Chains A and B, each alone.
Chain A
Amino acid sequence: MAAAVELDGVNVTFGDFVAVRDANLVIEPGEFFSFLGPSGCGKTTLLRTISGFIEPTRGSVRIGGKDMKGIGPNRRPTALIFQNLALFPMMSVAENIGYGLRVRGVPRHERDEKVKNLLIQVALAEHGHKQVSELSGGQKQRVAIARALAVEPSVLLLDEPLSALDLKLRQHMRAELRAIQKRVGITFIYITHDQGEALTMSDRIAVMNAGVIEQVGNGRAVYAEPRTPFVASFVGENNGIRGRITSVANGEAVLDTPIGTLRGRNPVGLAAGQDALLFVRPEALRIGAGAGALFEGEALDVAYEGSVTHISMRVRTGQKLTVTLGGGAADALPQPGDTLQVGFEPRDGLVLAKAADA
């Protein structure tokens, strides 16, 4: 079976600006795939390239094994859910959902039947006659989904559709989107800058930065095994410490840094003498212990949140690090101004190459 979407050396440039650089990717049928990255990283451009609104400057997009060159957005087997939903205000809910069928020339009775089923599927059975402006945010969301599903696309593209919703509703919609995807079984390509969304919903995630896909993997992989400093610091909280590698052995690297000698894993196989960054998650830092290293700093701020406590501390170089303690430590919390000894286990430290431009 052909891949749902294949990107083969896709480049998109606007004048001198490179929006997407050399994207290579295979997305499998039935996969819930997310592009995660900050705004301006090129993820929306990539989505619009897949849906056909932008032609790649170089490289090719294949959907279902077929090259999409020269095929406009209205003739691709994709459906896009827009960030602002772009529901048609002059049409009723049912007319919105049936629009794709109408322009395909599906006869009215067949269309009505299908729209009715879709309305039931998205729990809007009673709302077909209403105007879009009469609906709540969540209901509009479901109309947009039904409208896109009506044309039976092989790939559904979603451009941060939840960003306008209330927090509570957003969490509810994540579960609902995932459930819909499981039910209809088609490929979902989801775009977001919210790592929580990406991690909870996706089978796989592509993390993007400055037009480049930095890493592709499942949620655990991009969180626990980041391959680049950007991924390490963008997905989840992280502390990055600069230094130079002095020695490597047994998949570990020893780093000489201004705050001491630190040891961590070396997943990408860096060599001694290279400039590098050591990343350690706030929850991996321990007070007063750690074989990876031990260094000193001053507590600036202690935020007790019940199950966890976040401590912001400043080390000798002036850099700020975050330490997250579990709930059990509540009795012995440090005070702002206290001097702390902090350390971590070598398996929790991750040594990555310093990015060329960093």
Chain B
Amino acid sequence: MKAGWVQRLALAVYLALFFVYLLGPLAVMGVSAFNTPSYPQVWPFEGFTLEWFGKLLADQDMMYGLQMSLWIGVLVVLISVPIGLAGAIVMTQIPARARATYYLVVVSPVLTPGVIIGISTVVFWREFTTMSGLRFMYDGVVMTVLGQSSFISAYCMLIILARLQRFDRAQQEAALDLGASYPQVFRHILLPFLKPALFSAGVLAFLSSFENYNTTTFSILADKTLTTVLAGRVRQGTTPAISALAVIIVAVTVLGAIVYEVLKRRDDARQRARQRAASQAEEAELGGEPAAA
């Protein structure tokens, strides 16, 4: 099997190259965060230091931006998940002829460049708040939350819709039939069913908001978020403190991924145990029948 051997080697080389390309730059940046020179460099490695992490934490603007980013992220989650949920439910109920138009409108922000969403949000709200006397609403944070919500709500809707399409309408009818009111059906049956999707949507919404730059840079006006401060710093000059920030973000991501994996495995084990119990009960029920029959 010479061909198989060649193919495997080619695959290994390709995979290695790919991940060097994907992870290499991050690794280089990561190493530079721990190196003493004030210009981010990997080699020669002149000495291990945590100085840059200290510098990062002492950077007032950066910390303020972080605070704003977290705050905006929370607001975006609180707005986008309910909107995404409503959008998904409406999608399943809207008359077939209106569905295509509706879909086009609500999914369009996903395919629109972020800068344009930022621009249009600022343009509209500047005029709208002036006209309606709600000038206090012409605020960087408000508009950033609204602008980000336009496409993040669409992400949420797509995630929730995927699960909603597997919803068994008989569940809803069963609850109604047992006397539940419509709001009760929504609370007791639909929301618990959608819970995993709502959670995923929430996490995705927060992360998307946190890392967003293109929309934010237009809509934030004079205020700052972590990404806009970061962009300013990077333009001014390169310092290993920025590498240190990347290290922290990667570390948090890895931690999150590990926690997710552990939880998922635990849940899988629970599901398997239940299935085993069910098949045992099934056997007991059909009892006495020889297995070979």
Whether a CB of chain A sits under 8 angstroms from the CB of B175 is: yes
Interfacial chain A residues near B189, Cβ < 8 Å: 88
Indicate if the CB atoms of B180 and A82 lie closer than 8 Å: no
Residue of A nearest to B279 (CB): A136
Interfacial chain B residues near A135, Cβ < 8 Å: 278, 281
Separation of A104 and B193 alpha carbons in the complex (Å): 22
Of B92-100, B121-129, B165-173, B253-261, the one with at least 4 CB within 8 A of chain A: B165-173
Of A71-79, A211-219, A233-241, A320-328, the one with at least 4 CB within 8 A of chain B: A71-79
Interfacial chain A residues near B192, Cβ < 8 Å: 90
Separation of A103 and B184 alpha carbons in the complex (Å): 8
Tell me how many residues of A have a C-beta within 8 Å of chain B.
37
Separation of A347 and B179 alpha carbons in the complex (Å): 52
Residue of A nearest to B193 (CB): A90
Chain B, 187-201, CB within 8 A of any chain A CB: 188-189, 192-193, 195
> Min CB distance, A170 to chain B, in Å?
11
Interfacial chain B residues near A134, Cβ < 8 Å: 274, 277-278, 281
> Min CB distance, A34 to chain B, in Å?
20
Contacts A137-B285, A169-B285 given: A72-B170 contact, CB under 8 Å? no
Interfacial chain B residues near A99, Cβ < 8 Å: 175, 178, 180, 188
Interfacial chain B residues near A100, Cβ < 8 Å: 178-179
Whether a CB of chain B sits under 8 angstroms from the CB of A139 is: yes
Residue of B nearest to A134 (CB): B277
Chain B, 250-293, CB within 8 A of any chain A CB: 271, 274-275, 277-278, 281-282, 284-286
Q: Select B176's contact among A72, A148, A166, beta carbons within 8 Å.
A: A72
> Min CB distance, B97 to chain A, in Å?
15
Interfacial chain B residues near A74, Cβ < 8 Å: 176-181
Interfacial chain B residues near A104, Cβ < 8 Å: 179
Whether a CB of chain B sits under 8 angstroms from the CB of A168 is: yes
Indicate if the CB atoms of B171 and A88 lie closer than 8 Å: yes
Over the window 133-152 of chain A, the binary record of Cβ atoms lying under 8 Å from chain B Cβ atoms (1 yes, 0 no) is 11111110000000110010
Indicate if the CB atoms of A136 and B176 lie closer than 8 Å: no
> Min CB distance, A299 to chain B, in Å?
33
Separation of A73 and B180 alpha carbons in the complex (Å): 9
Provide the main secondary structure of the chain A interface: mixed
Residue of A nearest to B170 (CB): A86
Indicate if the CB atoms of A133 and B178 lie closer than 8 Å: no
Interfacial chain A residues near B176, Cβ < 8 Å: 53, 72-74
Chain A, 223-246, CB within 8 A of any chain B CB: none
Residue of A nearest to B282 (CB): A136
Over the window 86-108 of chain A, the binary record of Cβ atoms lying under 8 Å from chain B Cβ atoms (1 yes, 0 no) is 11111000000001100110000
Interfacial chain B residues near A166, Cβ < 8 Å: 286
Separation of A56 and B99 alpha carbons in the complex (Å): 28
Whether a CB of chain A sits under 8 angstroms from the CB of B174 is: yes
Whether a CB of chain B sits under 8 angstroms from the CB of A80 is: yes
Contacts between chains A and B (CB distance < 8 A), count: 87
> Min CB distance, A110 to chain B, in Å?
16
Q: Select B286's contact among A86, A151, A169, beta carbons within 8 Å.
A: A169
Contacts A139-B281, A147-B178 given: A133-B173 contact, CB under 8 Å? no
Indicate if the CB atoms of B179 and A133 lie closer than 8 Å: no
Q: Select B168's contact among A52, A75, A86, A148, beta carbons within 8 Å.
A: A86
Interfacial chain A residues near B177, Cβ < 8 Å: 51-53, 73-74, 78-80
Indicate if the CB atoms of B274 and A131 lie closer than 8 Å: yes
Q: Select B181's contact among A80, A84, A103, A147, beta carbons within 8 Å.
A: A103
Indicate if the CB atoms of A82 and B275 lie closer than 8 Å: no
Separation of A72 and B176 alpha carbons in the complex (Å): 9
> Min CB distance, B100 to chain A, in Å?
21
Q: Select A86's contact among B173, B180, B285, beta carbons within 8 Å.
A: B173
Separation of A99 and B179 alpha carbons in the complex (Å): 9
Separation of A130 and B276 alpha carbons in the complex (Å): 13
Over the window 50-83 of chain A, the binary record of Cβ atoms lying under 8 Å from chain B Cβ atoms (1 yes, 0 no) is 0111000000000000000000111100111011
Indicate if the CB atoms of A84 and B179 lie closer than 8 Å: no
17 A-B pairs with CB atoms under 8 Å apart are A52-B177, A53-B173, A73-B173, A74-B178, A74-B180, A75-B179, A82-B170, A82-B174, A86-B168, A86-B170, A87-B174, A88-B189, A103-B184, A133-B271, A133-B274, A133-B278, A134-B281
| 5 more A-B residue pairs beyond the given contacts A78-B177, A99-B188, A133-B271, with a C-beta to C-beta distance below 8 A | A53-B173, A87-B174, A99-B175, A99-B180, A168-B286
- Residues of A in contact with B (beta carbons under 8 Å apart): 51-53, 72-75, 78-80, 82-84, 86-90, 99-100, 103-104, 130-131, 133-139, 147-148, 151, 166, 168-169
- Top 5 A-B pairs, shortest CB-CB distance: A100-B178, A136-B281, A86-B170, A86-B174, A136-B282
- Residues of B in contact with A (beta carbons under 8 Å apart): 168, 170-171, 173-181, 184, 188-189, 192-193, 195, 271, 274-275, 277-278, 281-282, 284-286
